[in-house]
């Protein structure tokens, strides 16, 4: 599936900002199963200095530095991306989950890509209570993908998507207790539960295709950034991405920006400013299949 992506982020400042430094994770990541056909970032006001590169996790990253006073800041991503992630292996053909856990704990050459994703972080800590929620899906000897698929479906079934009931600082234990939140919460919850069991899991940032209700036109700018979970199946079978918000295996309706240990590693736009006073933020996202674009 080929998509055209537009992501516009605007900051409005109550007072001029004298200096600013920003880190952007807005360029889709080139991957097996995801081809970035083109991608461009437009920044207003133009930065005095811009550096493009990759971060610790291999994600495309852009560092911006603005040294002139400005009353607002806007960055726009436009990109064309083709996605066709392969189907995961048959669940029964994946190793027992304990084998994956033990491999990640040993580390070494076979597990180096996964080892750092075992450890808890501020947003996705290895909380025992969340581990206890995940544990029924992981009885002894169960193939790891079978267990992961069940946990993914349970989160979709047990939790309600409700915007506004959480913030980025809401702990996963509160999300577990309230059984409500948004995609970032459900991704952090699943990651925390897997880490509590000793399994590697990473936070994946990107977009998901949304469809209008029957009989309604698609609203421009109404799509949103999305988040899901990368799960490790062991050194032979690598990673599979699961979307607990929607109970999906990621294949052709998601576009990957990048991944990290939690949201803080791959926030689309973050930075430090001098001045600005009170400020507001607006975000507009469109993810359109090319064959349906008008």
Question: Where are the CATH 2.60.40.2250 domain residues in the chain?
Answer: 2-83+267-292
Report pLDDT for 291: 73
| Token couple for 88 | 């995961």
Give which of 176, 168, 171 is closest to 135, Cα–Cα.
176
Rounded CA-CA distance 151/191 in Å is 11
> DSSP string covering 188-222, please?
HHHHHHHHHTT--EEEEEEEE---PPTT-PPPTTB
Give which of 203, 202, 194, 209 is closest to 252, Cα–Cα.
209
| Contact between residue 172 and residue 125 where contact means Cβ atoms under 8 Å apart | yes
Residue labelled with tokens 């811009």: 50
Q: What is the CATH number of domain 91-250?
A: 3.10.620.30
Tell me the per-residue pLDDT of 119-153, one tens digit each, with 9 for 90 and over: 999 999 999 999 999 999 999 999 999 999 999 99
Rounded CA-CA distance 199/99 in Å is 10
Beta pairing partners, 289: 3
| Contact between residue 155 and residue 244 where contact means Cβ atoms under 8 Å apart | yes
The architecture of the domain spanning 2-83+267-292 is: Sandwich (2.60)
Rounded CA-CA distance 226/148 in Å is 20
Question: Where are the CATH 3.10.620.30 domain residues in the chain?
Answer: 91-250
Once rounded to an integer, what is the mean pLDDT over residues 262-267? 97
Rounded CA-CA distance 269/15 in Å is 20
Tell me the per-residue pLDDT of 66-98, one tens digit each, with 9 for 90 and over: 999 999 999 999 999 999 999 999 999 999 999
Residue labelled with tokens 């437009």: 42
| For residue 285, pLDDT beyond 80 | yes
Question: Taken in order 43, 45, 51, 55, is the CA torsion positive or negative?
Answer: negative
Model pTM greater than 0.85? yes
Tell me the per-residue pLDDT of 198-248, one tens digit each, with 9 for 90 and over: 999 999 999 998 876 676 655 443 477 899 999 999 999 999 999 999 999
């Amino acid at each position: 599936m080929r998509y055209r992506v537009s992501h516009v982020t605007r900051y409005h400042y109550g007072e001029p900002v004298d200096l600013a430094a920003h880190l952007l994770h807005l360029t889709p990541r080139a991957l097996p199963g995801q081809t970035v056909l083109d991608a461009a970032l437009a920044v207003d006001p133009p930065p005095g200095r811009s550096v493009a590169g990759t971060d610790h996790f291999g994600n495309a990253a852009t560092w911006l530095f603005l040294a002139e006073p400005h009353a607002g800041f806007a960055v726009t991503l436009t990109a064309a991306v083709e996605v066709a992630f392969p189907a995961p292996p048959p669940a029964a053909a994946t190793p027992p989950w304990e084998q994956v856990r033990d491999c990640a704990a040993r580390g070494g050459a076979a597990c180096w890509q996964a080892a750092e994703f075992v450890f808890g972080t501020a947003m996705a800590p290895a909380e025992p209570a969340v581990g206890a929620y995940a544990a029924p899906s992981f009885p002894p000897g169960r193939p790891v993908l079978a267990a992961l698929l069940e946990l993914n479906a349970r989160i979709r079934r047990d939790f309600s998507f409700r915007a506004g009931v959480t913030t980025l600082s809401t702990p996963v234990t509160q999300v577990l207790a309230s059984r409500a939140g948004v995609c970032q919460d459900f991704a952090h919850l699943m990651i925390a539960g897997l880490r509590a069991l000793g399994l590697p899991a990473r936070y994946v940032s990107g977009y998901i295709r949304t469809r209008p209700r029957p009989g309604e036109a698609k609203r421009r700018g109404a799509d949103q950034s999305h988040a899901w979970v990368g799960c490790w199946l062991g050194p032979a079978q690598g990673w599979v991405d699961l979307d607990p918000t929607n109970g999906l295996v990621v294949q052709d309706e998601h576009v990957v920006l990048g991944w990290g240990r939690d949201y803080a590693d791959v926030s689309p736009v973050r930075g430090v400013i001098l001045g600005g006073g009170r400020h507001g933020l607006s975000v507009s996202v469109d993810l359109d299949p090319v064959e349906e674009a008008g």
